[in-house]
Amino acid sequence: MNRLGRQLLRPAIEAAYRRGNRARLPVLMYHRVLPKADPLQPGLIDAAQANQQFKVLSELFNVLHVHEAADLLKQGRLPPRAIAITFDDGYRDNHDVALPLLQRHGICATFYIASGFIDGGRMFHDSVIEAVRRLPTGRLELQALGLPAFTIDDDESRRAAIRDIVQAIKYMDLAQRQAVCDQLERATGGNLPRDLMMTSEQVAEMARRGMSIGGHTVQHPILQRVDEAAARNEIATNRSTLAAILGEAPRTFAYPNGKPRRDYTCGHVQMLRDVGYEAAVSTAVGVSDQGADVFQLPRFVITESTYSTILFRLLRMSSVLTNDYSC
């Protein structure tokens, strides 16, 4: 899109995302930015796509940290065209790929870290992905763990196996989930990667370079699936671990999996308040206005990669107001 086209669209963006007590806040959700496209993870953007998205955001929006945006929204003082960018989990490519692109365009983001996986850990869905990537062609037998058998052949069959296994084990308790991951790793002969997540030093460096760090629990459990004591421990231990890394406590939090009422409840919202968090983000899809609960800010994903499609996606989302979750 040329400069004239961008100038013509700017008033539409300003009308959609107004200032003050009529403002609407979009919060974008990312997990990874891959150096190049991965056929087994087609839903993830690569560096070229991220670069284009960040270019649009830097030219047409006021990019804020989540804690800043939540505070200004609550006060009715949000600037026009405000937006926040978030990344969940703590992947190494957030540091190696996303950070340089964000800095190239002069914008910030908030990174939510599951502290149990930094410094050489691996999240359960990555264990599934990396194991299935390495499996020889043939039949994968998982009936002993309550899962069906899968035929492993081409990329399409591997993507299908990854999708179905992840969906099947996502809501298992942590021990059951780990048992499936362990069996998959044994089927590959081991040696799955241990460098997918950031190190503690990389997390600290992100903060030193102007990014915000937020809490995301220790082991990424779905909070509604663990008892109250375990949920409190996950939230508090994660916050204290990050505080030790950063020299200050994180101010905002992202709920693992993040679906309101299904993955977390008002009881978990109160736990965040109790330990000192100021705001939190969910995975409910939409944007917020001044009436939103800042402990349940919705988010959405953009996968578009051209200037015009990114803008039109953001314009469409301005009407998806999600304020029906409050505690």
- The domains of the chain are located at 3-119+196-317, 124-188
**What is the β-pairing status of strands 252-254 and 150-152?**
unpaired
Q: Yes or no: is domain 3-119+196-317 CATH 3.20.190.10?
A: no
The mean of the pLDDT values for the chain is 94
Residue 148 scores a pLDDT above 80: yes
How many Cβ atoms sit within 10 Å of the Cβ of residue 17?
26
Least reliable range by pLDDT among 7-11, 46-50, 118-122: 7-11
pLDDT of amino acid 1: 59
DSSP bridge pairs for 86? 29, 110
Question: 3-state SS string over 40-87?
Answer: CCCCCEEHHHHHHHHHHHHHHCEEECHHHHHHHHHHCCCCCCEEEEEE
Using 50, 70 and 90 to split pLDDT, how confident is the model at 7? low
pLDDT (tens digit, 9 = 90+) per residue, 262-311? 999 999 999 999 999 999 999 999 999 999 999 999 999 999 988 889 98
- Percentage with pLDDT > 70 across the chain: 97
Q: What percent of the chain is modeled with pLDDT above 90?
A: 82
Higher pLDDT: 273 or 3? It is 273
Q: How far is residue 210's CA from residue 264's CA, in Å, rounded to a whole number?
A: 30
pLDDT in tens, 188-241: 988 899 999 999 999 999 999 999 999 999 999 999 999 999 999 999 999 999
